[in-house]
Amino acid sequence: MRHPAIHIAPPRGRLGVMLVGLGAVSTTFVAGVYAIRKGLAQPYGSLTQMSTIRLGKRTEHRSPLIREFVPLACIEDLEFGAWDIYPEDAHRAAVQAGVLDAALLERLREDLEALRPWPAVFDPTLVTRIDGPNVKRGEGKRQLIEQLRSDMRGFIRARRLDRAVVIWCASTEAYREPGPAHASIAAFEKALDANDSSITPSMLYAYAAIMEGIPFANAAPNLGVDTPALAELAGERHVPVAGKDLKTGQTLLKTIIAPGLKSRMLGVRGWYSTNILGNRDGEVLDDPACFRTKEVSKKGVLDYLLQPDLYPALYGDLCHRVQINYYPPRGDNKEGWDNIDLFGWLGYPMQLKINFLCRDSILAAPLVLDLALFLDLAQRAGRSGIQEWLSFYFKSPMHAPGLYPEHDLSIQLKKLKNTLRHLRGEELVTHLGAEYYD
Ligand SMILES: NC(=O)c1ccc[n+]([C@@H]2O[C@H](COP(=O)([O-])OP(=O)(O)OC[C@H]3O[C@@H](n4cnc5c(N)ncnc54)[C@H](O)[C@@H]3O)[C@@H](O)[C@H]2O)c1
């Protein structure tokens, strides 16, 4: 079915991308954008830069690039700002992260050195393994929010930006369940006034961005914007938000393989996942309270994908274990092992082993780029609140109350592309295909 196209304001001027945390993911993203702009590298891994979208029937052979189909900001128009608890500029931070070659970073030195982080809002009781001097001092949470809002406004003014987005790429905060303080805007604001400890820094950044009318995404598994209060605030203030926890290595593969096994009605008795990881993220996640946040995010995926309530004989007894081991020699080059105990016809057992030698931030950086560009598009298209069509990018996709999240990567991609078709008034692709045989 075709709909009229939705009005989308053109991407005039420049787009500010403000990153909370200037660590491995952020610096790999920023350096990557500069390298691509200089023609030194290609934007592999990015849908907004490389993917096409099929329009109309298969016989029409219309498959433009996504970036030519919807009006996205171009990467030449991006400007970067960041907060971090360490004062090092993006060049030093990138060298310290150890993801990109020193020779490449040297060629980008001038641009990266110009990015110096603003003092951060930080709570050392929520991230215990690191501590840094570049932090804001404030009388209370309201004052800290005012300081964040002033950073955002100052950045937009000083760089003469047209629009901006904020993306949390900071360390994972210790596990918190959503509680009464997060249940509504009124409860959240009351908790802010009382400096309630259940309002964490990631929520303060999210609140500040939404109040400034700036889209916000959360690349990490801590709650951040994923509370009823902030989702409601985002809806009320017409700001698009998305989260949480980028789907990069092991979980990406899980959301590709598990739907495949399920589509063939193959049973799964056990799924054992373990990783070694030696970057700062790994160090932070070595604290059991922070690991718990990641574990909840990683473990939820299989429960939803395999639907043991609908298929108790196939998945009712599934034993799912996830481990992350901090192992400094590997740095950002994570190695993951999965052992899947599955069974087929008549219950005969089989095993599948996956050994993924990946690079965490190389997988994450293009997702940050896509999120920045798609959130900006969403705002110019008048969308607000939770952007479920961006589930494709997340381990724990935000979703409306009463819904279960969609984790299957291929369904998530269809949802994303159909949203783009919908925005442009193109026919949605249902894959029914009956028209070719009528
Ligand atoms: N790389 C991936 O594949 C991937 C995938 C999913 C999620 N993530 C998440 O993304 C986040 C970033 O990962 P990374 O590898 O860049 O980690 P990192 O440790 O290299 O960088 C995080 C940075 O955030 C800073 N920071 C911590 N708390 C802060 C605060 N309150 N305000 C401002 N800055 C703060 C730290 O000082 C550090 O420089 C982590 O939470 C990680 O779990 C990463």
Q: How many domains does the chain divide into?
A: 2
Closest ligand 1 atom number to CA of residue 86: 37
b/e map 284-295, b = 16+ CB within 10 Å? bbbbebbbbbbb
Residues 109-128: pLDDT tens digits? 999 999 999 999 999 998 88
Closest CA to 168 of 127, 221, 128: 221
Q: Is residue 4 assigned to a domain?
A: no
Residues 371, 349: one domain?
no
Beta bridge partners of 275: 324, 336
Give pTM, 2 decimals.
0.95
Residues 229-267: pLDDT tens digits? 999 999 999 999 999 999 998 889 998 999 999 999 999
Q: Is residue 111 assigned to a domain?
A: yes
Residues 171, 66: one domain?
yes
Per-residue tokens: 241: 């938000």
Say yes or no to pLDDT of 29 above 90.
yes
Residues 299, 174: one domain?
no
Nearest CA to ligand 1 atom 2: 360
Distance, CA of 109 to CA of 115 (rounded, Å): 10
Closest CA to 29 of 219, 185, 214, 208: 219
> How many C-beta atoms surround the C-beta of residue 184 within 10 A?
15
Query: What's the CA dihedral at 354, 276, 26, 207 to 10 degrees?
Result: 100
Instruction: For residue 281, report the distance from its CA to the centre of ligand 1, in Å.
Output: 6
Residues 305, 339: one domain?
yes
Q: What is the pLDDT of residue 1?
A: 60
Distance, CA of 330 to CA of 246 (rounded, Å): 20
pLDDT higher for 438 or 364?
A: 364
b/e map 353-375, b = 16+ CB within 10 Å? eeebebbbbbbbbbbbbbbbbbb
Q: Is residue 147 assigned to a domain?
A: yes
Among 339, 357, 375, residue at a domain's last position: 357
Residues 70, 138: one domain?
yes
Q: Is residue 436 assigned to a domain?
A: no
244 backbone dihedrals φ, ψ, rounded to 5° = -135, 155
Instruction: For residue 21, report the distance from its CA to the centre of ligand 1, in Å.
Output: 6
Instruction: For residue 416, report the distance from its CA to the centre of ligand 1, in Å.
Output: 26
- Which protein residues touch ligand 1 with a CB less than 6 Å away? 20-26, 83-86, 97, 120-122, 127, 130, 132, 169-172, 201, 219-220, 245-246, 248-249, 279-281, 284, 360-361, 363-364
Among 357, 378, 409, residue at a domain's last position: 357
DSSP state of 81: E
Among 313, 331, 357, residue at a domain's last position: 357
Q: What is the CATH number of the domain that holds 309?
A: 3.30.360.10
Closest CA to 198 of 128, 132, 135, 123: 123
Residues 127, 271: one domain?
no
Residue 211 near residue 333 (C-beta atoms within 8 A): no
| Residue span of the structural domain in which 174 resides | 15-246+362-423
